[in-house]
Structure 1
Amino acid sequence: MPPAVELRSVARRYGSGDTSVTALDDVSIAFPPGTWTAVMGPSGSGKSTLLHCAAGLDRADEGQIILAGRDITRAPEHVLTELRRRSLGFVFQNFNLVGALTAEQNVALPMRLAGVRLDRRAVKRALADVGLGDRGNHRPRELSGGQQQRVAIARALVTRPAVLFADEPTGALDSRSARTVLELMRTVVDERTGQDGAAPQCIVMVTHDPVAAAAADAVVFLRDGRLVDRLAGASARQVADRLATLED
């Protein structure tokens, strides 16, 4: 299968002249379907910029980005919006749930925004898949942080996206809740990919946590906007040690 996401010689700069900052510098990387990749690096290394460019949330100055089989490098905003609604899922550190809505209503939001018919069975199944089938009528304030993040994951997955982008998904959680969320993401890749004829799902996750990164299939490291290393099957200690060498 072709990559779920691919960056080809991508560069992204902010500002101009003497104040110009290069966030990504000639980055080429492919994220295959059915894989989970963690992206790590020191502060300012370009992690979030890589994720935002890969997801079409930010524009590359140079290079090419292929997402879910489409070249989005110069795609107009309405095309990007439609692609994000139908082919991508997003999970962030702060959950981004709508406080006035129930868990079921939050999970249903992507369908409503995409203008597709609401599939209540799919919504209930998504909540059941994250272990919250009995919390559908609860609002965010009635749920723990870990439960809120699981609702956010259910919302991200309800449309069966080709790619799930996660930005520090365990950053606001205690260790026990973080472990539950990581186990859930592992299940997404290992057990849910390819179900019902859908393409295998891909996760691209930015994190600063070596434990979270070690749960992924591979970890890629950035420094000063460049890819500098990749580890596969590494332990949290190995990830932490490699990260430390980049922060010196």
Structure 2
Amino acid sequence: MDMLQTQADTAVELRDVVREYGSGQARVRALDGVGIGFARGTWTAVMGPSGSGKSTLLHCAAGLERPTSGQVLLGDRDLAAASERDLTELRRKDIGFVFQSFNLVSSLTAEQNVALPLRLAGSKVSMTDVRAILTTVGLGDRLGHRPRELSGGQQQRVAIARAMITRPAVLFADEPTGALDSGAARTVLGLLRSMVDDAQQTIVMVTHDPAAAARADSVVFLRDGRIVDRLVRPSVREVADRLAALEA
């Protein structure tokens, strides 16, 4: 982590994180002593060849997986040492998720899907807030539509609104544009960009797409479970060239 970046400026930090799968000769080290801090109000893209550890990094940072060793700090809380109950609470209130597959409930309307995290957390549901956030993502006229009545891009915007309704400290996105056509992808990336610039949201995004990565503030590259490079405000060409070099 940048020495000038204090812990108060950091939304989530990994300290010497190791993640291993299997045992004995079949043991695989997916993350090999990763240390990185993600500053508040910034958007970081995570890239690397297949098997580099980028999805494992995202899952450990978001508390979906426990590291084999090391710390994952969300503010002053260590997710690696938290109980399952505490992790569930954190995931409901302080961490937002957006996935490639949208993960919407097919029987619920757009506004019901967005309200779902609040209901699961036992929080008071303000339908005014739900409708306001759907309007923010450009779906104020689709409140009563179910997922099958929405395009892929619209479904992903519902998923983003659902992730944001609890005002999470960090939004984690796993290939959020992977299932979208180019036009819908640009709309979703523009929405993420505005969340960082206008609402100071912190976003950590795994992607394989250089065009998506270039919309972020910085791009972190992994290979063999280790961070090997970082680019700040790169062009699409710079991202593509660096990724190609890692995959060679």
TM range (shorter): over 0.9
1:92-241 equivalent positions in 2, closer than 5 A = 92-193=99-200, 201-241=201-241
- 1:128 shift after superposition: 0.6
1:71-86 equivalent positions in 2, closer than 5 A = 71-86=78-93
- Equivalent position amino acid for 2:113 in 1: N
Structure 1: any 5+ residue segments left out of the alignment?
Answer: 194-200
| SS class of match (1:185) | helix
- 1:42 shift after superposition: 0.2
1:92-151 per-position Cα deviation (integer Å, ceiling 9, x unaligned): 000000000000000001100110011111100110110001100000000000000000
- Equivalent position amino acid for 1:61 in 2: T
1:198 is matched with which residue?
none
- 1:69 shift after superposition: 3.1
- 1:230 shift after superposition: 0.1
- 1:17 shift after superposition: 1.0
| SS class of match (2:80) | coil
Provide the rounded CA distance (Å) in 1 between the counterparts of 2:167 and 2:129. Answer: 10
Provide the rounded CA distance (Å) in 2 between the counterparts of 1:85 and 1:158. Answer: 10
Provide the rounded CA distance (Å) in 1 between the counterparts of 2:171 and 2:76. Answer: 15
1:243 is matched with which residue?
243
| SS class of match (1:134) | coil
Provide the rounded CA distance (Å) in 1 between the counterparts of 2:82 and 2:199. Answer: 30
Q: In the alignment, does 2:30 pair up with 1:26?
A: no
Provide the rounded CA distance (Å) in 1 between the counterparts of 2:137 and 2:9. Answer: 28
- The normalised TM-score by structure 2 is 0.96
How many equivalent residue pairs? 241
- 1:2 shift after superposition: 3.1
1:53-111 per-position Cα deviation (integer Å, ceiling 9, x unaligned): 00110010111110143111111100000011010110000000000000000000110
CA RMSD of aligned residues (A): 0.7
2:67 is matched with which residue?
60
1:169-197 per-position Cα deviation (integer Å, ceiling 9, x unaligned): 0000000000000000000000022xxxx
Q: 2:23 aligns with which of 4, 16, 21?
A: 16
Runs of 4+ in 1 over 4 A off after TM superposition: none
